[in-house]
Amino acid sequence: MSRQMRSGQRVMMVFAHADDETLLAGALIAKLVSDGHDVKVLCLAPGDDDRIRRLRRACVDLGVSAVETLRFSESPMWPDDADETRKLPTKHLSPQLSLVPITELAHKVAGRISEHAPDVVVTHSSYGDYGNCDHAATFCATKLATESVGDEAIRFYSLGWARWMVGGNARLMRLSGRSIRRMGPDGSFDMWLALIRSKSPSITIDVSAELGVRRKASRWYGAEIAKGPLPMRLLERVPLILQRSFLGKARLRVEMAPEGFDHMAGL
């Protein structure tokens, strides 16, 4: 377990969508910035110009030093949602993130890693946090990208979540008639399989003092929160003192680090 981080580190956070940086990692980002680290954000499928504008404003609130975006589009959560998406006008639509070949995504992410030379890279969990196929694709691409850069000094972490929270959300999805084994626009993402293959987070950081900063940044995402998973919608409405029980600890899984690196001394 680690509760701190070596000073003056360069941190690159890679997210699928505009709002992920705030709702999933906002308190962690604010903690890293408060501790003197330089945090940059790369967002792969940020949405339209208005959402990108809100992404940048939220990142200002969090203390992020730079924001970079690619222009992939957000994937539907389930195949029947994809059927509705196909009815929309297709002009100017970019490829859906989860359907882009992982090697292509990894190539683009690797270019940013090489450019910014981070000490630490952080991204989504392998199971997509709450079962989001774009989040899972971002994890796979970022992992491959970090490996391909060939810098053995980089530490690569994925976000982690308490199993009871992930399991509770999965049960809610099943109760609503949704399958967690056929997710994404083509039904190819199996959240259940990804979950059983994943390992528990190995690092916990106290971010309870930064939840107020996270809440300030989250005000830019009212529309996204209203359409988000039920547990997230409920969490955004409770007082900060109650949020601490659910979001007061940032959990990270070590995916890649130099041999012999002592994580007890910090990230």
2, part of any domain: no
Give the integer Cα–Cα distance in Å for 211 and 61.
12
Count of domains observed in the chain: 1
Q: Does residue 113 register a pLDDT over 70?
A: yes
pTM: 0.94
Q: Which two tokens stand for residue 266?
A: 């910090």
pLDDT of 126-167, one tens digit each? 999 999 999 999 999 999 999 999 999 999 999 999 888 899
222, part of any domain: yes
Buried b (16+ CB within 10 A) or exposed e, 70-94: bebbbbbbbeeebeeeeeeeeeeee
3, part of any domain: no
Q: Rounded to the nearest 5 degrees, what angle is found at the Cα of 200, between the Cα atoms of 197 and 201?
A: 130
Instruction: For the beta carbon of residue 221, count every other beta carbon within 10 angstroms.
Output: 23
Poorest-confidence range of 41-45, 50-54, 105-109, 200-204?
A: 200-204
> In terms of residue numbers, what domain contains 146?
10-255
208, part of any domain: yes
Q: Does residue 91 register a pLDDT over 50?
A: no
14, part of any domain: yes
202, part of any domain: yes
Give the integer Cα–Cα distance in Å for 72 and 47.
8
264, part of any domain: no
pLDDT of residue 238: 94
166, part of any domain: yes
List the end-to-end C-alpha distance of the chain, in Å, as a whole number. Answer: 10
pLDDT of residue 1: 37
Give the integer Cα–Cα distance in Å for 223 and 243.
20
Give the integer Cα–Cα distance in Å for 175 and 61.
37
Handedness of CA 249, 243, 235, 36 (dihedral sign): negative
Q: Does residue 118 register a pLDDT over 80?
A: yes
What CATH number did the domain enclosing 166 receive?
3.40.50.10320
Per-residue HEC secondary structure of 136-182 comes to: HHHHHHHHHHHHHHCCCCCEEEEEECCHHHHHHHHHHHHHCCCCCCC
Average pLDDT over the chain, rounded to whole? 93
Give the integer Cα–Cα distance in Å for 59 and 13.
12
pLDDT of 17-38, one tens digit each? 999 999 999 999 999 999 999 9
pLDDT of residue 229: 83
Q: Rounded to the nearest 5 degrees, what angle is found at the Cα of 203, between the Cα atoms of 212 and 7?
A: 70
Residue-wise DSSP of 215-262: HHHHGGGHHHHHTS-HHHHHHTTS-HHHHHHHHSEEEEEEEE--TT--
Q: Does residue 6 register a pLDDT over 70?
A: no
Q: Rounded to the nearest 5 degrees, what angle is found at the Cα of 57, between the Cα atoms of 141 and 253?
A: 35
- pLDDT-based confidence at 85, cuts 50/70/90? low
Residue-wise DSSP of 29-74: HHHHHHTT-EEEEEESS--SHHHHHHHHHHHHHHT-SEEEE---BP
